[in-house]
Amino acid sequence: MSKIIMLKDCPFCGGQASLDPMEFTTDGVVLDRIWFVECDDCHVSTGGEVHNPDEAVALWNRRTRLGSPLTEREEQDMLLVIDKLFKILGMEYDYW
């Protein structure tokens, strides 16, 4: 029975991704195998030496809050910190 693997779209271009092995062989004998996920469109990949396909999928599917919209409260807190930093540095700025 095959396991269904769910890969998120590429975080950079939105393209579909594939899970692939890279095998290191000598005389037809597999010495080592690493797994990586790569975008089919822009070819960004997980890279590294991941020896388990599940770990490669988890690494690809992991997303950070970077790029996520801030809540109104988070934005206000961030602007207060920026304001304090500029005052400490004696600089003026515009919120644009």
> Which pLDDT belongs to residue 68?
63
Secondary structure of residue 30 in the 3-state scheme: strand
Backbone phi, then psi, for 50, in 5-degree steps?
-105, 120
As a whole number, mean pLDDT of residues 31-38 equals: 94
pTM recorded for the entire structure: 0.61
Q: Give me the chain's average pLDDT, please.
A: 85
CA distance 71 to 56: 31
Q: Using one digit for the tens of pLDDT, what is the confidence trace for 63-79?
A: 765 556 667 887 788 88
Residue 38 clears pLDDT 90, i.e. is over it: yes
CB 67 within 8 A of CB 10: no
Tokens of 81: 């910190």
Residue found by looking up tokens 């950070």 in the block: 64
Q: Where are the domains of the chain?
A: 17-89
